[in-house]
Amino acid sequence: EGITVAALVVGEVCESPSHWRAKQTLSQWMEGHGVPGISGIDTRALTKKIRENGSILGRIVYEKPTNLGSLTFADPNLRNLVAECSVKEPRVFNATGTPRICAIDCGLKLNQIKCFVSRGARVDLVPWNYPLKEEEFDGLFISNGPGDPVVCKDTVTQIQRVLKNGKKPIFGICLG
């Protein structure tokens, strides 16, 4: 629940917020929560590099070590990030709605559910590794989420089974 961040990389940071409800600066909040950050970065160039090369491990270093090889990296892709952020038990939204959409939670944003419900659909939100029963839904939605989908073998197996049967529409976003 809530927002989690390992670090923040920005082009510019505002040190004098003007919003009337602001009680502290972003830097103060980050320091209070132990979140490292760096500013003055060309974030467009960084985004382009990531887009061209895929995920890249990085580290914010405050003092350059004499031996760069001594730097260690915690690779988040070694963890199943989807399992960490997915719901643990199924949840139903708009129980009387139609059509009935089964949404696999791979790190879904609440607004995605709101969009379905606002159009009258019932949404059965299920964990990333939930055993799917095709007779229980009209369509399958695969949500977006963090990390490398390669570690989501249970999800892939379930989706492949539904695809093979070819009877239900399947749609997804990002990771999906």
DSSP structure class, residue 63: S
Spatial CA neighbour of 148 closest among 53, 75, 61, 94:
75
- pLDDT above 90: residue 118: yes
The pTM (predicted TM-score) of the whole model is 0.72
Express each pLDDT in 133-170 by its tens digit: 999 999 999 998 887 777 888 999 999 999 999 999 99
Express each pLDDT in 16-73 by its tens digit: 988 999 999 999 999 999 999 999 999 999 999 988 987 788 888 888 888 988 888 8
User: Where does the pLDDT of residue 174 fall: very low under 50, low under 70, confident under 90, or very high at 90 and above?
Assistant: confident
| Contact present, 116 and 92 (Cβ < 8 Å) | no
| Contact present, 128 and 152 (Cβ < 8 Å) | yes
User: Where does the pLDDT of residue 176 fall: very low under 50, low under 70, confident under 90, or very high at 90 and above?
Assistant: very low
Residue 48 neighbours by CB distance under 10 Å = 11
Spatial CA neighbour of 3 closest among 29, 27, 23, 21:
29
The pLDDT value recorded for residue 2 is: 62
DSSP structure class, residue 89: S
Strands 8-9 and 37-38: parallel
Q: In Å, how far are 99, 138, 147 from 78, measured between CA atoms?
A: 37, 34, 9
Q: In the chain, what are the domains?
A: 8-74 (no CATH), 82-172 (3.40.50.880)
Q: Is the peptide bond before 149 cis (omega within 30 degrees of 0)?
A: no
